[in-house]
Amino acid sequence: MNDLHTLAARTPGLPCRTTDPDMWFSNYPIDRYRAARFCASCPLLAACREYGVQTRQEWGVWGGVDLTAVETYCGSERGHRMHRRAGEMPCVPCAEAHAVLVEKRRRKRLAEEHAKGGTVRGYDIHLQLEEPACAACRAARREESARRRAGALRGRGQPRTASVASRAAEPATGAPAGAQPLALTA
């Protein structure tokens, strides 16, 4: 496969070649933002992004991703999102920052569920937080399970009504003339 430089030399009309190339490596974030938007129409978008990530470029816009900003925000939730947009696994500081944010959101939601007196959703959040569920959330989960079991058992063992049984014996609409109905087993 050709490397990025060879592909870029052979491909006419690339945005980084037809506009101000300094924009891609500007000291001003607004210029790099504009450059990243120009990349959207580039036929080498994926190859350029892959090159920037694989060669660990720390400065500039590569394939529509401002890798300068990724380095600037590393260790934050924004850095985590930027890693994901760049198609790479987040670094340890960014992954930790994301985990802290997720746990904070879950704890806030859990407090809302506890304010309702404990809910099935609260039970699920306890599990996501890898902690034992409180008594109120466990009780809500038991009640929900009992309701589902009661609903699933309802109707079992009861004979089918005559109208349902007679409809099952009729050939389906659109069946060829003389088609025999299938025998249904209970």
Beta bridge partners of 62: 65
- Environment class of 145 (CB within 10 Å of its CB; exposed 0-12, middle 13-18, buried 19+): exposed
CA distances to 35, 37, 94, 173 from 83, rounded to whole Å, are 18, 18, 8, 56
Q: Is the pLDDT of residue 162 over 60?
A: no
* β-pair type (65-66, 61-62): antiparallel
Tell me the per-residue pLDDT of 35-92, one tens digit each, with 9 for 90 and over: 888 888 888 888 888 888 778 777 888 888 777 666 667 778 888 887 787 777 787 8
Tell me the per-residue pLDDT of 96-116, one tens digit each, with 9 for 90 and over: 889 999 999 999 999 999 999
The more confidently predicted of residues 14 and 135 is: 135
3-state SS string for 15-54: HHHHCCHHHHHCCCHHHHHHHHHHHHHCCCHHHHHHHHHH
Rounded distance, CA 143 to CA 96, Å?
A: 36
Q: What is the pLDDT of residue 116?
A: 94
Q: Is the pLDDT of residue 122 over 70?
A: yes
